[in-house]
Amino acid sequence: MASETNDRRYLRPTAHIDADHPAVVAFARRTTAGVDEARDKAVALFFAVRDGIRYTPYGVDLSPEAMRASATLAAGKGFCIPKSLLLTAAARAVGVPARLGFADVRNHLASPRLLELMGGTDVFAWHSFTEFDLGGRWVKATPAFDRGLCERFGVVPLDFDGTTDALFHPFDAAGRRHMEYIRQRGSFADLPLAEIRATFEALYPAWVEGAPAGDLHAEASPGSP
């Protein structure tokens, strides 16, 4: 039986992690051109997705067509789940085993408008990150917040070296509480979209049903609540 870290599921394309899509393949190969080691490929892809895909929690579209890595790449923006889909797919496209990880987090620095849309809660269910199989163990990396957003919020951008987990910081640059992991939801070879949709519709109907537009970068500034 295959061990967890050499399971071929983590290299295959899926409906949501469409690692065989021509645009995803081209993006992955372009980003890792001249890079041989799997660890270095993962690092290069992390930064390309982190900063090349603008983070936005607005305009959420949970349709199967939108929740694909290739759709995220085409849009050039997305929230944590679409960005993790793209990072995971790009890794698989260049032979780096990868899967999706999920957790519930408490965001202490969410903007007032976003909190209102979330029904007043600062708990974000099904926050997503990518897990890479590197050196026989799974290493986690969160590509969600791009450098520009971090600078506006006064948050240190996540770094990733392919060895140490790159998860959200518990405090921002000023020492305020930032992100708190409160529940682990597990690791998945493909996106559990039906479960995510059911949770979001139950907890955040105003956020997902109307898919309101907005620009979190414009709402954010150093010292924002």
pLDDT tens per residue, range 183-192: 999 999 999 9
Evaluate whether residue 221 is within a structural domain.
no
- The confidence score (pLDDT) of residue 174 equals 65
Question: Rounded to whole angstroms, what are the CA distances from 21 to 15, 140, 193?
Answer: 10, 24, 19
Give the chain's end-to-end CA distance (angstroms, integer).
50
Q: Are 146 and 53 in contact (CB under 8 A)?
A: yes
Q: Are 76 and 177 in contact (CB under 8 A)?
A: no
Count of Cβ atoms closer than 10 Å to residue 163 Cβ: 12
- Furthest-apart CA atoms within the chain: distance in Å: 52
Residue 191, H or E segment: none
- The confidence score (pLDDT) of residue 117 equals 83
Nearest to 119 by CA among 204, 198, 201: 204
Residue 133, H or E segment: strand 123-134
- The confidence score (pLDDT) of residue 3 equals 45
Tally the domains of the chain: 1
Say how far apart CA 203 and CA 52 lie, in whole Å. Answer: 30
- The confidence score (pLDDT) of residue 211 equals 60
Evaluate whether residue 223 is within a structural domain.
no
CATH number at residue 104: 3.10.620.30
Evaluate whether residue 69 is within a structural domain.
yes
Say how far apart CA 145 and CA 80 lie, in whole Å. Answer: 8
- The confidence score (pLDDT) of residue 146 equals 92
Cα 3 vs. chain centroid, distance in angstroms? 25
Evaluate whether residue 40 is within a structural domain.
yes
Backbone angles phi, psi at 217, to 5 degrees: -60, -40
pLDDT tens per residue, range 179-212: 888 999 999 999 999 999 999 999 998 888 766 5
Evaluate whether residue 92 is within a structural domain.
yes
Structure tokens at 111: 């903007």
Cα-based torsion angle of the residue sequence 177, 182, 187, 191 in order, rounded to the nearest 10 degrees: -80
Evaluate whether residue 220 is within a structural domain.
no
- Which residue range forms the structural domain that includes residue 52? 4-212
Q: Are strands 179-188 and 137-141 parallel, antiparallel or unpaired?
A: unpaired
Residues of the chain with confidence (pLDDT) below 70: 1-6, 108-109, 170-174, 176-177, 210-225
Evaluate whether residue 117 is within a structural domain.
yes
Say how far apart CA 77 and CA 192 lie, in whole Å. Answer: 21
- The confidence score (pLDDT) of residue 150 equals 85
Count of Cβ atoms closer than 10 Å to residue 202 Cβ: 9
Cα 135 vs. chain centroid, distance in angstroms? 22
Evaluate whether residue 205 is within a structural domain.
yes
